[in-house]
Amino acid sequence: MSTLPDAGALRKLTLLFVDDEEMIWQAIAPPLLRRFKEVYYARDGLEGLEMFHRMRPSVVVTDVQMPLMDGMELVREIRRAAPQPVPIVVITAYNDAAHRSDMADRHVHKPVDLHRLLDAIIDVAGSYGLMD
């Protein structure tokens, strides 16, 4: 049985998780809630953008395909409006250029594997100096 990556430094970070698939959120929420200082959840890009502005999370994880505002547009809006650069991980069921964002720091493919997601978050948070 493999163990999850050491994520102790995540305890000081806040995470915004944006995905319209409630089942993914229900499966991934408990381990995320144990590892981060705070975890916020939005069901679509519009709600995610509003929460981003209100909560100012340390890290954003977003799905690509969502109603109202997709993850690609959400990433563009965060990059445009964020007062400071923020690490962004995109999760997607697709493996083509049309479903990738050059503005995202990392892409993780569905089905979401908690190990790969945490590795990606730790890596991008570290590259922004948030894991010190």
Which pTM does this prediction carry? 0.91
User: What mean pLDDT value characterizes the chain?
Assistant: 89
Query: What pLDDT was estimated at residue 102?
Result: 80
Domains of the chain, CATH where assigned: 10-127 (3.40.50.2300)
Hey, what long-range contacts does 40-46 have (CB within 8 A, 24 or more apart)? 40/14, 40/15, 40/16, 41/16, 41/17, 42/16, 42/17, 42/18, 43/18, 43/19, 44/18, 44/20, 44/68, 44/69, 45/18, 45/69, 45/70, 45/71, 45/73, 45/74, 45/77
Query: What pLDDT was estimated at residue 1?
Result: 38
Query: What pLDDT was estimated at residue 3?
Result: 47
Query: What pLDDT was estimated at residue 99?
Result: 59
What would the pLDDT profile of 85-114 be if each residue is shown by its tens digit? 999 999 988 776 665 678 899 999 888 899
What would the pLDDT profile of 17-42 be if each residue is shown by its tens digit? 999 998 888 999 999 999 999 999 99
Query: What pLDDT was estimated at residue 70?
Result: 92
Q: Of the ranges 58-62, 68-72, 101-105, 106-110, which one carries the lowest mean pLDDT score?
A: 101-105
Query: What's the mean pLDDT in 38-55?
Result: 97
